[in-house]
A and B are shown apart, each in its own frame.
Chain A
Amino acid sequence: MADASTKTARAEWGTRFGFLMAMIGAMVGAGNIWRFPYVMGDNGGGAFVLAFLVLLFLLAVPGLMAEVALGRYTNKGVIGAFREVVGRGGMVGFGVIVLLVNIALMSYYSPLIGWTLYYAVHSLLFSFTAAGFEAEPFMEGLFANSALMIGLHTVVMGSIAAILILGIRRGVERLVVYAVPALVVALVIMTIRGLTLPGASEGIAFTFGVQWEFLLRSETWIAALGQALFSTGLGWGIALTVGSYLREYDDVPLGGGVFTAIGESSIGILAALAIFPVVFAVGVAPDAGAGLAFVSLVQVFPEIPLGGVVAILFFVGFFLATFTSGLLITEVSVTTIAEETRLDRTQTVLAICGGIWLLGLPSAYSADILDFLDFVFGNWGLPLATLAIIGVIGWVLGPERLRLLAVNRNAGIYVGKWWDPVIKYVIPLVMLFIMGYFAWDNFREPEMIAGMLVIVLFPIIGYAIMSVLEGRGGHPDAADVTGGDD
């Protein structure tokens, strides 16, 4: 049990740069590397960029400001922040939705990090440029080897636990301040290598060619909307948690909003510049997802000079991108559970990581299960979490109050009244639209049914749990301290 005297001060980011890199490290994940470049090229290139930019400023930037500000205002994890706003009782259970979605998300994201770890290790062994290497059988061999997949999942969760135990400043911050710049440097070097290859211009034309007619297609806007919301991790509790460790005089809107949303998207743009010139230079068909990273690109490396080194840069960078995201996704639960129970940080980390490891076994065992969960939580679970967080800010706390009391306090830029209706109306309506659109698009499919179950059951479970716990006063006195290293 935690010694109450140790729970007297909350951890803080050691530096401003540490906070900014934590935000970027959390938000830049697999989607920026293996999804964004293809979605961009496939949806009108420059036309998609414009649609994406509009939605980024309209939704993601204000939304992230709100979420970081809520964390900073309450200085609490997800459930504590909800309690601070709605008061004790069952309604705090809407914070539990965010927690459940995060745990579910991490349960299938950890095996995916394991894939990138496996490829990073093989890049260091120069496997991809060895004679007789074949990309597709190699990937299929990995997916078919359940023991190896479970082993990788175990290594990933063990590593995340080891870092989280060290705390916010000595663990998370110490890693992200090196990992995020290293990812950027790796992609820049890969971009330079790719752009100097003959035929690279076709990749640039695919990604940045402007097809204006795409701006009139609803599919372009839906794709841009998905990218703007999911890529920035808006409303998943991550920005709230990271923001809760801000220091007294830290700014919220410039770093937590503008820099995070634009910075993480910039890495997607850089990934497009790093990947497609290389892919097109060798004449491999562009793709997205595992097909792009684990087949197309892997086929490319033996064909280009210094391909083995480029493979190392790409896969190590890719691993760092996914690993730092996994670290911060897990931190959401660690921060909250450490506050809400009498467990100390080490005990909480072990309990959370152990639980996620257990829940992740099916996804590690079968890539099909992972795909299914990714679809269900990507389309319904995550928007539900966003709706819970932005809904509580917009409709209970009130955006004007939060803007006056937290967003504009110590702020690096002034945020005006335009922000209030965006938080109260626009983002919740967009999230409802997304959930409805995907339900209609996948009507009666098993994924859609599972998604509806998530939408109905998670709020009920959350409400029931918190009604019982809050009713019997299961909230410890020394609840507001976590982070582990202050």
Chain B
Amino acid sequence: MALTAEVLGMLSFTLLTFWGLATWALVRTLRQEGRKVEILRHQDRMDTYSPQALAELREWIDAHPDDPLADTARERYNECVETLRQTDSHFYDWSDREIANLERL
């Protein structure tokens, strides 16, 4: 029985989508892990938020200053800001200008 183009197309799509995506995620996360290990070999801590995620955390803290978890959020924000200022290698794509513009809360 010869397979139709539709069946072959769906087989290819399924393999690419599932195995392709799973392989991409595995390789990406393992490479990121390698980079984190490399950074931590030279310094004892590392930035914990991407610029976008840190900006969103800041917005949330400003909007919810009395939230029960606001102190934890502030701690995490400040921890990231301090680390960015005090370390040379960063995991996320931070520019010097972005770091200079950050302030502790």
Residues of A within 8 A of B (CB): 15-17, 20, 45-46, 49, 53, 199, 201-202, 204-205, 208-210, 249, 251, 254-255, 258-259, 262-263, 265-266, 269-270, 400-401, 404-405, 408-412, 414
Contacts and interface: CB of A to CB of B under 8 A. Distances in A.
- Interface residues of A, dominant DSSP: helix
Interface string B16-49: 0111011001101110110010001000001011
B100 interface: no
Given A259-B29, A405-B69, A249 B48 contact: yes
Contacts of B36: 249
A17 B1 contact: no
Given A208-B10, A262-B18, A269-B19, A408 B25 contact: no
Contacts of B13: 46, 49
Contact of B60 (A46, A208, A258, A404): A404
A258 B76 contact: no
Given A258-B25, A266-B22, A45 B3 contact: no
B73 A404 contact: yes
A64 to B, nearest CB: 12
B7 A258 contact: no
Given A208-B7, A259-B29, A408 B22 contact: no
A405 B73 contact: yes
B87 interface: no
Given A255-B25, A404-B73, A49 B1 contact: no
18 contacts: A46-B6, A46-B10, A49-B14, A202-B1, A249-B46, A255-B29, A259-B25, A262-B18, A262-B21, A270-B19, A400-B60, A404-B56, A404-B57, A404-B60, A404-B73, A405-B72, A412-B32, A414-B53
B11 A208 contact: yes
B29 A16 contact: yes
B57 A411 contact: no
B29 A254 contact: yes
A263 B14 contact: no
B105 interface: no
Question: Which residue among A46, A201, A249, A400 has the maximum number of chain B CB atoms within 10 Å of its CB?
Answer: A249
B101 interface: no
Given A201-B2, A201-B3, A249-B36, A408 B21 contact: no
A208 B7 CA distance: 6
A269 B19 CA distance: 9
A222 B72 CA distance: 41
B86 interface: no
Contact of A208 (B14, B22, B40, B46): B14
Best-buried of B21, B29, B32, B33 by chain A (most CB within 10 Å): B29
A400 B3 CA distance: 48
Contact of B29 (A20, A202, A262): A20
